[in-house]
Amino acid sequence: MSGLFADLTSVAGGRDAPRPRAGGLGNVTVAELVKLVRRPANWLLLAVTVALSLTFGYLVPYAGDAGGAAGAEGGPPGAPTVATLLPAELVGNSIGGLPVFLGAIMLILGVLTVGAEYGWGTWKTLLTRGPSRLVGYAGKLLALAVATLVTVVALFAAGAVTSAVIAGVEDQPVHWPAPAELLTGVAAGWLVAAMWAALGVLLAVLLRGVALPIGLGLVWLLAVQNLLASLAAPLLDWVAELQRWLPGPNAGSLVAALGAAPATPGVEQVVGGGRAALAVAGYLVGFALLAGALLRRRDIL
């Protein structure tokens, strides 16, 4: 009876009352990773990410080139040719989609990881019988970090296979990027992917759901930031200056500095690569901290 009374008192006491813990950060992170692995939607997102990257990064450009570099003559400036699809260009081709359309999928992943807990009502169970709010939140962030890294590595692996096949078909020499260049590319892609996932987490915590955060995030990623870059920035100087500080243009500048094709949507050298990396990292930390502060202070039970 005393144990039952203690449990009821703990639940009624809110977030500041003592409660039994389900484990430390390591256990929470492992549990979150298991949840990510067991959700079919996450595997579907990974498959769609890889499929989109290969389709628009390799297959469509190769088909448009008609099987030879000469076929791209007279095409739009920066249009890919067979030479740009070979293994030597693996880094740029693998991360070129992350500033816009692949980044949108990472945002969806972030929203689903956190926002689904509101729809299912499982935040209540996690935070009343499990770890503290910040430990539970940190476990989700670490699991997302692993998921985004796996996604970026999968993009590089799929791109490596595809570019090697193209080189074989076209009887071109295979020259792979240096290991340091590959590691830099993976790190930059991971940084951009994690930033968009963190934005998804922030929207999910702010709006306490899934549908509206995904909708607003996609509108920003796929519409607003492209309209700002293509329509408003050429006409208004202050919008052009604002572009230098927004997350999307900085992500595009970072991947452009590493060899992404300028014809790819969202890829443009607005600022230098070093400054872009710092800006993307700043947004990543800022999104994560703001979402954690909201989760810590608000009563969501």
List, for residues 25-36, the tens digit of each pLDDT value. Answer: 888 899 899 999
For the stretch 237-252, pLDDT in tens is 888 888 889 999 999 9
% of the chain residues with pLDDT over 70: 85
Given a contact cutoff of 8 angstroms between Cβ atoms, the answer to whether 276 and 251 are in contact is yes
In this structure, what are the phi and psi dihedrals at residue 41, rounded to the nearest 5 degrees? Answer: -60, -35
Q: Which residue range forms the structural domain that includes residue 221? A: 57-297
User: Is 95 among the domain residues?
Assistant: yes
- Beta carbons within 8 Å of 154's beta carbon, 6+ residues apart: 46, 49, 50
Among the listed residues 201, 187, 213, the one whose alpha carbon sits nearest the alpha carbon of residue 140 = 201
User: Is 74 among the domain residues?
Assistant: yes
Number of domains in the chain: 1
Residue 77: the pLDDT is: 52
For the stretch 238-291, pLDDT in tens is 888 888 899 999 999 999 999 998 888 889 889 999 999 999 999 999 999 999
188: its two tokens: 């930059």
User: Is 175 among the domain residues?
Assistant: yes
152: its two tokens: 């970026």
Number of H helices, E strands in the chain: 15, 0
User: Is 268 among the domain residues?
Assistant: yes
Q: How many residues are there in the chain? A: 301
User: Is 15 among the domain residues?
Assistant: no
User: Is 18 among the domain residues?
Assistant: no
User: Is 277 among the domain residues?
Assistant: yes
Count of CA atoms in the C-beta half-sphere (13 A) of 169: 16
pTM listed for this prediction? 0.86
User: Is 46 among the domain residues?
Assistant: no
